[in-house]
Structure 1
Amino acid sequence: MFFDHLGVVWQYEPEGFDLGSGHWYLPDFWLPDLRIWLEVKGHGASDGIGLWERFAQAADPPSDADVAGGVAPALSVLPAAWRGRALLAYGDIPRPGDARPGGVWPAASEAMLASTGDPFFQWCICLSCGRVGAEFDGRWERICCGHSLEGGPESSADHPRLLAAYRAAREKSFEHEHRER
């Protein structure tokens, strides 16, 4: 519901990957236009995190320069067509009223996404063209569309389109919970 509301193309569990040593991984979502893999975990769910970290390295392996600088090489690498940033969404669907002015969500908020080694990614929207992305602290100027806005806000994580998408996803989740009871 969240991605549909934002017009983001998504695929649910499109492919499983052999990470070597008998370990397979089936990530939750592939966002092909954004080249993002998204794994969704609820509050307190820590099962499979180590395997997710291996997958994240395979999806976005360190460069030769990084490896030469001391970064450990990936144990396996995904085929080029499937490479992209791997993010982990943890917790519940964010509550739109929790966003702080200026677009930054509180630390440890439900709006957080994690990449390997960095837990502070957030969904954001380019203020010039409207492209959706997931960037550190929701910094929209890092979205790969080439736009910037002198004197504008650093973060767009509280953009009205995102808040509406969170609301829609929370409502759908609430409906689903009540139907199962």
Structure 2
Amino acid sequence: MSIRPIETSYAGHRFRSRLEARWAVFFDSLRIKWEYEPQGYAVGPEGRRRPYLPDFWLPKEKLWVEVKGTEEQMDVELLVHAAIPHFGLPNPAGPCWISDHQARLLILGPIPLVEAVHDAGELAGYVHPAHALLSFRKGDVFQGSAVFNSHGIELLPEGGLVGNDGPEVFWHTRGSDWGNWLTPGAAMNPDHDGRAQGAYRAARSARFEHGERP
């Protein structure tokens, strides 16, 4: 028997799952503007195009966002195709360039528990979860990482090769686990004032029952 997600209301939107609503709380806590399911698109090469409705659009960061509770819930081929500019998702605000990569799609899992503190002399901050980022470079799709901190999102597109515009998918070669893995905050612009940690806590502790505010 499959477990159905709980539809949840927040900020004037009816989210398909409580996890999506928690990420909206997280974005609000970091003052990241978001749009929920603004538009669906057909993605993929001719003859194999399929409908895809991304969960969020972040207009300032120029990023699409997909939320999944587990890696097993992901349609990997669809997501890799969506990350290829010429037959994937459009970018209404123009490309998000990080070095010579186009950052295309952020994949978020369950809201992680963030408690540990990393201390490295002058650089001290909370340990950050890293999240999967799909980017495109010279015909190839890569899985890099994204880290939330006091300034918003830091994107690190270099990572394992996961596909190309052939199109072929090589998800097993991505070079890192999908989801939320911990990485020392000092290595990636540490969260000195704890804003990102506070956003994770707010999202995890949000209660939506009976009209309560998160």
2:111 counterpart of 1:93: yes
Describe how 1:148-159 pairs up with structure 2 within 5 A.
153-156=186-189, 158-159=191-192
CA separation in 1, counterparts of 2:154 and 2:36?
A: 18
Q: Post-superposition shift, 1:13?
A: 0.6
Deviation at 1:154, TM superposition (A): 4.3
Between the aligned partners of 1:19 and 1:29, the Cα distance in structure 2 is: 16
**Counterpart residue number, 1:147:** none
Q: Give aligned-pair identity as a percent.
A: 32
Instruction: Tell whether 2:133 aligns with 1:114.
Output: yes
Amino acid at match of 2:145: F
Distance 1:35 1:118, change over 3 A: same
1:169 lines up with 2:203 in the alignment: yes
Question: What is the CA-CA distance between 1:14 and the residue it aligns to?
Answer: 0.5
Which residue is equivalent to 2:80?
Answer: 53
Counterpart of 1:134 in structure 2 is: 154
Does the aligned pair in 2 maintain the 1:93–1:169 contact within 8 Å? yes
Aligned residues: 139
Which consecutive residues of structure 1, in runs of 5 or more, have no partner in the other structure? Answer: 59-73, 126-130, 138-152
1:12 and 2:36 correspond: yes
TM-score normalized by the length of structure 1: 0.62
Distance 1:178 1:113 in 2: 34
Q: Which amino acid aligns with 2:143?
A: D
Assess if the C-alpha contact under 8 Å between 2:41 and 2:89 holds in 1. Answer: no
CA distance in structure 2 between the partners assigned to 1:111 and 1:49 by the alignment: 19
Query: Is the 8 Å Cα contact of residues 94 and 111 (structure 1) preserved in structure 2?
Result: no
- Identify unmatched segments of 5+ residues in structure 2: 1-24, 97-102, 136-141, 158-185
> Structure 2 length normalisation: TM-score?
0.53
Point out the structure with the larger strand share.
2
The residue type paired with residue 39 of structure 2 is: E
More helix by share: 1
Distance in 1, matches of 2:148 and 2:90, equals 24
Q: Name the Cα RMSD after superposition.
A: 3.1
